[in-house]
Amino acid sequence: MLGGVGLARGRGRRHHDFMLNRRAVLGIRWVGWRALTVALLLCALGVGAAGVPVTVQDDRGREIEIPAAPERLVILQALYGEIAVALGAAGRVVGIVDSPNIPEQLEGLPLVGTAFEPSVEYILALDPDLVLGGWGEVRAGLERAGARVLTLGQEDGYIGGLTDLLAAVRSVGRALGEEEEAARLVGEIAVEVVETEAAVLERRRVRVAFLFMYAPDSPPYAIGTGAVEHELILRAGGANVFADVAGFPLVALEEGLARNPEVIFTDPTQVEHILESRLLEDVTAVAEGRVYGIQAADTVSTRVARALREMAQRLHPQAFEGD
């Protein structure tokens, strides 16, 4: 029986920030290899020369009109900064949020607040012709002031799968007049994902847990269905031992022991917390030292294929001998 399963309210600032960060940059649903393949083909075949103006559908289903190729971009989520850099548009960015995940090519630009609390006033002061990644009250304030905001994915910018991520790349490319570069990037990611999946396709699925644990013997947050790490576990040749729960609920440590994963993934800063947990010392992953750090920010980014390959190599090292 799950102990304390569900999102806990009022558990302090760390949990509050964790949940905001998850909403902003994390989260993916398993869509199946065939669905991903179809989506990739649609993305690739749908590329054409963009006229001016263009319209792009945002996360709310609204058509955002881009009257001309934007020249003054403000980035409110790291993903959009990565896309801008990959599409060769770094020189058009005039402002960013203060986040450790912003690409180094954009460092030194004016800051408009944190990723959790960007300032509408600071953003407007930069006179942007397009703001990428705004949601909630920040977006509402910007739009009331007449700013053009483009946020992609599901509601409030939630990236719900690899298809959402790749569609976001394509849509940003359309908005920036860089559709050919966007198609190239989509293709590169797709090829890397398929190559990794092919390498582990016939392998036995390894029992995996993806946990976030802030201190030794503190109850962890476990990744369930509907989160980016869950999909990557499956694509990497694993079986999520928490596949019967949704999202990323708080669970009792005894649950980790009972489900006995062979491998545990976590944030790199939390590996020692799991290895030092007295309640988890008999879990196969801990006993055998198979607890690995994966950067959460990589899992919903243009580096997602790299994160997938790293996970697959940890689960099935024999499949990558000679790499």
Per residue in 152-209, pLDDT tens? 998 888 887 788 899 999 999 999 999 999 999 999 999 999 999 999 999 999 999 9
Q: Which of 194, 214, 238 is the last residue of a domain?
A: 194
Mean pLDDT of the chain: 86
* Tally of domains within the chain: 2
* Average pLDDT rounded to a whole number, residues 4-9: 37
User: What is the CB-side half-sphere exposure of residue 72 using CA atoms within 13 A?
Assistant: 10
pLDDT above 70: residue 27? no
Q: Is the pLDDT assigned to residue 249 strictly greater than 80?
A: yes
From 16-20, 129-133, 272-276, the region with the lowest mean pLDDT: 16-20
Q: Quick count: other Cβ atoms within 10 Å of Cβ 157?
A: 27
Amino acid found at 173: G
| Residue at 4 is within a domain | no
What average pLDDT does this structure show over 218-237?
A: 92
Pairwise CA distance, residues 60 & 151, whole Å: 9
Residue 110: per-residue pLDDT? 97
208 and 188 in a common domain: no
pLDDT of residue 36: 52
Question: Which of 194, 211, 233 is at the close of a domain?
Answer: 194
Closest CA to 297 of 20, 116, 101: 101
Q: Is residue 128 part of a domain?
A: yes
- Distance, in Å, from the CA atom of 228 to the CA atom of 161, rounded to the nearest integer, reads 7
Q: For residue 34, is pLDDT > 70?
A: no
Residues 260 and 162 grouped into a single domain: no
238-240 and 206-212 as β-strands: parallel, antiparallel, unpaired? parallel
- Do 178 and 51 fall within a single domain? yes
- Which residues, 6+ apart, have CB-to-CB distance to 207 below 8 Å? 238, 239, 241, 259, 260, 261, 262, 263, 284
Of 194, 216, 251, the residue at which a domain comes to its end is 194
Domain that holds residue 289: 13-30+203-320
What CA–CA distance (Å, rounded) separates 171 from 163? Answer: 12
**What's 88's domain CATH number?**
3.40.50.1980
Residues 128 and 211 in one domain: no
Give yes or no: residues 81 and 134 share one domain. Answer: yes
